[in-house]
Amino acid sequence: MAKLGRGYVAPNPLVGAVLVQDGTIIGEGYHQQFGKAHAEVNCIKSVEENNNKLLSQSTLYVSLEPCAHFGKTPPCTDMIIQHKIPRVVIGCRDAFEEVNGKGIEKLKQAGIEVTVGILENESKELNKRFFIFHQKHRPYIILKWAQTADKKMASFSKERLLITNEHSNRLVHQWRSEESAILIGTNTALLDNPSLNNRLAKGDDPVRMILDKHFRLPSTLKIFDNSQRTIIFNCIKQKESNNTTFYRIEDDENIIQKIMDACYQLNIQSVLVEGGAKLLQSFIDADIWDEVRTLTNESLFVKEGLSAPKLVNAIQVSEEKYNNDLIQYFKHE
């Protein structure tokens, strides 16, 4: 149930909740949208009116520790206590400083039986973006690129090289809908003039982020159409203009870390890096990444072209194939 919130709840975590009484599910809920009711509230409210008396005999299963603080919504712990739910089973603790154990302690102090750590690894995997953001103070980084069978990202001709098929393109748009932001470099913006939205998938468009250190990009590009929030990392000026932020960073060997620091300050929890080989390799060389997703057209060869990044410290976790496209997933060692 928690997964149903993908693309809608960031920077909040994905959370699902189920109420069970005597082996029967009497309520279900999940966090549906940032700023709106949490999973526990939706779950309790879903219980039919004639079953409300069963709440005091039920067990609440929730994938993440209920909150105990006032944010955009009241504390979920208060509602659990108010309805006299006697038992709560929690997947894992919340890494957010305002919660982190406080919700568990508040429930226990109210006399509620609390069990923590059921399917803990799965619960943490579900919110890996949220945990990385709060524990490492940077966004969760996914590197993505398409390559030919001989590991080229582009040919040396001026014509754009179309590598992946229609199904793979839709999949990439689905990936975009699941992340807070998408990042490219100057050359990708100039050569491809992308919109950087997820028009082929449901969910909110990501924040567009472009590294343009020396203001080489013309205002006629699609990224300047004000259709979605856009951040231009540069080394010259800091300015807000309509839906675009020009964010100044220092130009040095730690520029990737500086982008990460800026993303943390801007509350951007995850980034899909779709840039060219140079930008992607910069993340690999800085050892700042969590996942890599490659799309390889096994029937396309380009003898002379731009080589794909060289991946190190990676473990392949899975792969899938759509016609000639081989999609491989890697995680950091």
Which two structure tokens, joined as six digits, stand for 127?
């919110």
CA distance 44 to 24: 15
11 upstream amide cis, omega within 30 of 0: yes
Is 40 catalytic? The answer is: yes
Count helices and strands (H / E) in the chain. Answer: 9, 17
Q: Which residues contact 212 (CB under 8 A, 6 or more apart)?
A: 185, 186, 189, 232, 233, 234
Query: Following DSSP, what letter does each residue of 84-124 receive, concatenated?
Result: T--EEEEEE---STTTTTHHHHHHHHTT-EEEE-TTHHHHH
d(CA 326, CA 322) in angstroms, rounded, equals 7
Q: Is residue 32 classed as helix, strand or coil in its secondary structure?
A: coil
Q: Could you tell me if 106 and 68 are in contact, meaning their C-beta atoms sit under 8 angstroms apart?
A: yes
The active-site residue out of 40, 65, 178, 179 is: 40
Concatenating the DSSP letter of every residue in 257-294 gives HHHHHHHHHTT--EEEE---HHHHHHHHHTT--SEEEE
Catalytic residues: 40
